[in-house]
Chain A
Amino acid sequence: MRFLALAILFAGLFSCSQKESNILELPEYVQVFAIPEDNKLTVDKIELGRKLFYEKGLSLDSSVSCASCHIQTFAFADTARVSRGFRGDTGFRNSSSLTNVAFQTAFFKDGGVKTLERAVHPPVLSEFEMNMNVIEMKERLNNNPVYPSMFKVTFGREIDHKGIVDALASFQRTFNSFNSPYDRHLQGDESALTESQKRGLALFRSERLNCTTCHIEPLFIDNKIHNIGLYEFYPDYGRGRVTLDSADYGKFRTPTLRNIAVTYPYLHDGSLPTLDAVLLLYQQGGVSHPNKSELIIPFTLSEAERSDLISFLHALTDSTFLNNPAFSNPNPAQ
C-alpha cells in the first residue's frame, strides 16, 4: 500500500515536471530570462494564452484581439502607422514588435511598465484599443464553451483576471526568435550571411556608427530609454508622460532590431516608413532637443555602406518565427 502511494506521488511529480520542461529552447549565447515565481511556464498556460491572444471577444465590440495589432507575420507588430482598435479608434503610438519580449525588463514604447504581466492587460482595458472591462471580460469567457474548463485545468480555479493576464504573458514568453541568418552565423555557419551582410555587421559593430551601445547583441536591446532627436517638440512625451519629469520628455525604449525588416513603419509613432529613412535620421544626428542622447552623433555613410547595413538588418529576419504554427491562431474563424 505504501509503495502504491509513493508510486502515485512520483507519477504525479513526473507528469508535472514534464509539463513545465522543454518549453523554451534558447541558443547557448542567450542568457535565459527570468520567469516570475507566481507565473511559471506550463504547456497548458501557454496554450490558454495563445487562445486568448487571438480572442476577439476580449474587445468590447468583439472586433479586435491582441493579434489584430500584433500580427505574427510582421513579428507581432503592425504595418499600420498606428493600429486601429475598438470602433476603429486609433491610439497614438506604433504597435511594438513582441519579438523576444520576455527578455525585456521595460515595456511599452516609454518603458514605464516593468513586468510582462503588467504589460499585457492595459491594451485590453484601454478605451482606444480593446476598451474592455474586467467584469464583462470574465462574463464572456465564462459563457464560452471552452474557457471555463481550460482555466480549471490550467489554474485549478475559475476564470479570473490574474489567470487571463498570466496566460497571456506566458504565451508571449514563448515568442523567442533565434533562427535568423545572423543566428546561424553566430553558430558558425560561414554561409549564413552574404558578403554584403557581413560588411554590414562589421559596420554595425564599428565605433564609427556606435549602434551596439544601445542595440546590444545578441538581443539588440539595452532595456533603456533614449531621446534620439526625432523632434524638437515631441507631441508624445514618451517616458515623461509616466514620470511627469521634463527630463524624460521624448525618451523611448530601445526596440529590438530582430525581425526589424518586417516591423515597418518605424519609431514610436511609426513616422518613418523605411529602414533607409531611419538610417538617415541617425546619420544626420537627429534634431536638437535638450534631452537628446549624447550617443546620437552625426556620421557619414556611403551609399554602398548604407546598402550593406540595411542588408545586414535584413539578416535579422527569422522566417521560422514569423511562420511558426505554434504561434498561429488556434480559434475557429470569428
Chain B
Amino acid sequence: MKKLSLFLVLTIAIVLVTTSCEEVKDPVPQPINNSTVKIVFGLYNGNDSINYDDVIAVDNVNEYRMEFFKFYLSNFKIEKSNGDVVFLKDVVIANAADTGGMTFSFAAPEGSFEKLMIGIGLDSVLNASDPVSFPDEHPLSSAQSMYWSWATKYRFTRVDGKANESGTLGDGNDLLIAHHPGADEFYKVKDFVKPFTLVKGDTTQINIKMDVAKWFNGPGGIIDLPTEPQTHTAPSDYHIAVKYTENFFAALELM
C-alpha cells in the first residue's frame, strides 16, 4: 500500500512538472481566428461566366464540354504588410460539379492583409500521401478519384470531357478529353496581391476568376485539342501536361 501511494505521488508530481514546463515554453499568444475569409473560384470563358458543364467554343474546337473537373489547391496563406504570414489551410479539392464545390471558407484572425497565397496543385509532401489512410471526405482520399495508383502520386487537375472539332457534340466525331497533369515539379504558389481587411465576426470574400479559354491558349502555349486531347503526364504526353499546367496557373486571376 505504501509503495502504491509513493508511486501515485511521484506520477502526479511528474505530470505537474511537465505540464507547467509546457506553459513556460510557449508564452507567445496565438492569433485568435475571429474572422472568416471566403475564397470563391468562378469559371469563365473569356469574359463570360460559365457553368462547368456548359458547351463552349474554345481554341481549335467548335464545341467543348467538361464532364468531370476537380483540382487541388494547397497551403493557403495570407500575408500582412509587415510580412507576417497566417497559414489558413493545408489542402482542399475543388469539384466544379458540386454546388459550392469551388468555394472555400477559412477562419482567420482579424487585420489588414496584402496578399493571398495559394499553392496550385500539391507540394511534394502532400503528393506523397497514402490515399488509403484518409477518410472518404478528405481531399487526399482515394475516394476523390484523383490518385494515380500506378505512379503513387496525385493528378493535380483532372478534366474529363468531350470536344468536337468542327461539328456538334454527339455527331459521332467527338474527341475524348482527359487532361490530367500532375507531378511534383508542377507545384507552384500563386500570389494574389490585393489589400483586404478581415473584420472580427465578419466574412470577407475574395473572388478568383478561372478563364477556361486560357487553358488552351496561354503563356505555356497552345493546346491543340484535336491533336492533344489527352495527357496523363506520361513520357509520351508530358509536354502537354507542362503546357496545360502553365496555362492553368495563368488562368487564375483576382476579380
Contacts and interface: CB of A to CB of B under 8 A. Distances in A.
Interface of A: 108, 110, 112-114, 117-118, 121-122, 125-126, 133-135, 138, 160-162, 165, 237, 240-242, 244, 246, 249
B132 A161 contact: yes
A132 to B, nearest CB: 10
A125 B149 contact: yes
Interface string B68-83: 0000000000000000
A113 B143 contact: no
Given A121-B142, A161-B132, A161-B143, A246 B151 contact: no
A126 B132 CA distance: 15
A265 to B, nearest CB: 21
Given A125-B142, A134-B141, A161-B142, A240 B149 contact: no
A134 B136 contact: yes
Contacts of B238: 244
B141 A118 contact: no
A112 B37 CA distance: 40
Contacts of A118: 130, 132, 149, 152
B183 A244 contact: yes
29 contacts: A110-B150, A112-B150, A112-B152, A113-B152, A114-B152, A118-B132, A118-B149, A121-B142, A121-B149, A125-B147, A126-B149, A133-B145, A134-B142, A134-B143, A160-B135, A161-B131, A161-B132, A161-B141, A161-B142, A161-B143, A237-B234, A240-B235, A241-B150, A241-B151, A241-B235, A242-B152, A244-B183, A244-B235, A246-B235
Given A113-B152, A249-B235, 11 more contacts: A112-B152, A114-B152, A118-B149, A125-B142, A133-B143, A134-B142, A161-B132, A161-B136, A162-B133, A242-B151, A246-B235
A118 B147 CA distance: 11
A165 B143 CA distance: 13
B9 to A, nearest CB: 23
A153 B145 CA distance: 29
Given A162-B133, A241-B235, A244-B183, A135 B143 contact: yes
B183 A242 contact: no
Contact of B132 (A121, A237, A244, A246): A121
Given A125-B147, A133-B143, A117 B235 contact: no
A237 B235 contact: yes
Centre residue among B143, B150, B183, B234 by max chain A CB count within 10 A = B150
Centre residue among B141, B149, B183, B233 by max chain A CB count within 10 A = B149
Centre residue among B143, B183, B236 by max chain A CB count within 10 A = B143
Nearest to B234: A241
